[in-house]
Amino acid sequence: KPIVSLKAISKTFSNGTVALSDMALDIRQGEFISLLGPSGCGKSTALRIIAGLATASTGTVDWPSATYDPDGRPDREIGFVFQEPTLMPWATVFGNVWLPLRLKGISKAAARADIMHALELVGLAKFAESYPRELSGGMKMRVSIARALVTQPKILLMDEPFAALDEITRFKLNNDILRLREQLGWTVVFVTHSVFESVYLSSRIVVMAARPGRVVAEIDIDVPGPRG
């Protein structure tokens, strides 16, 4: 049973732009899916709809095994990594990674072990007391990845996370992501317009085209195995 299932998703913005047309996608445990396509083909829109940051005009997003919070909202257990690291400049690295736990009412003391573990995973434990302005672009992005994984989300959604970085930093981060994927068995949806990144990182590439945004091909990369 998939973690998330998109069925016949279409999205038309109020100005009439049709961003997505009849998109279907099942996301299964342990998959690393790249949404690949040119600018404007609806990749970000699809990711935002999965995250609940935007609503579809028609179609449904099912979370077949989701649990529900006391207000009856599905507890989506998502980590979202934006194109920009979006760190709070006035907080330390530690404070930034604490944020999603703080929003759940978890104190700094109770969160400490989880925060330090997340920072270790991205190689930045030594920088816990640093401020974002003291870090390179690649390090800031790694903090933003630590912040997304500190809650141990079921799915990590990444929206062109490395677009603003130079090629070498980007390549290093790709390797970090590969290592973390193997270490943690992540389920990831990764938006990119880089063919290289999609082939290098994914178990499945979902190719999209524009006007209107739609899926035109799906390519399985991993040899089918026990991970299913």
34 binds ligand ADP (CB under 6 A): no
Question: From the CB of 114, what's the least distance to ligand ADP, in Å?
Answer: 19
* Burial status of residue 42 (CB atoms within 10 A of its CB: 0-12, 13-18, 19 or more): buried
DSSP secondary structure letters along 65-104: T-EE-TTS-EE--EEEE-SS----TTS-HHHHHHHHHHTT
Q: Which residue is nearest to ligand ADP (CB)?
A: 138
- Gap between the Cα atoms of 78 and 16, Å rounded: 29
Report the residue from 10, 21, 34, 45 that binds ligand ADP according to the rule CB under 6 A: 45
Report the residue from 30, 52, 59, 137 that binds ligand ADP according to the rule CB under 6 A: 137
Angle at 205 between CA 195 and CA 29, to 5 degrees: 135
Question: From the CB of 140, what's the least distance to ligand ADP, in Å?
Answer: 8
- Gap between the Cα atoms of 169 and 173, Å rounded: 6
Main-chain phi, psi angles of 105, to 5 degrees: 85, 20
Cis peptide before 212 (omega within 30 of 0): yes
124 binds ligand ADP (CB under 6 A): yes
Give residues 142-171 in contact with ligand ADP (rule: CB under 6 A): 169
- Gap between the Cα atoms of 34 and 195, Å rounded: 9
* Stretch binding ligand ADP (CB under 6 A), from 88-96, 107-115, 119-127, 147-155: 119-127
* Residues making up the chain, counted from first to last: 228
Please say which residue, 110 or 163, places its beta carbon nearer to ligand ADP.
Answer: 163
Phi-psi group of 54: left, alpha or beta (phi > 0 → left; psi -120 to 50 → alpha; rest → beta):
beta
Report the residue from 73, 102, 126, 227 that binds ligand ADP according to the rule CB under 6 A: 126
Give residues 178-207 in contact with ligand ADP (rule: CB under 6 A): none
33 binds ligand ADP (CB under 6 A): no
40 binds ligand ADP (CB under 6 A): yes
Report the residue from 25, 41, 87, 157 that binds ligand ADP according to the rule CB under 6 A: 41
Give residues 51-110 in contact with ligand ADP (rule: CB under 6 A): none
5 binds ligand ADP (CB under 6 A): no
Please say which residue, 30 or 123, places its beta carbon nearer to ligand ADP.
Answer: 123
Strand, helix or coil at 157? strand
Q: Which segments of 122-166 does DSSP mark as H helices, in order?
A: 137-149
Report the residue from 2, 52, 59, 123 that binds ligand ADP according to the rule CB under 6 A: 123
User: Which residues lie near ligand ADP (CB under 6 A)?
Assistant: 13, 15, 17, 19, 37, 39-45, 123-124, 126, 136-139, 169, 172, 213
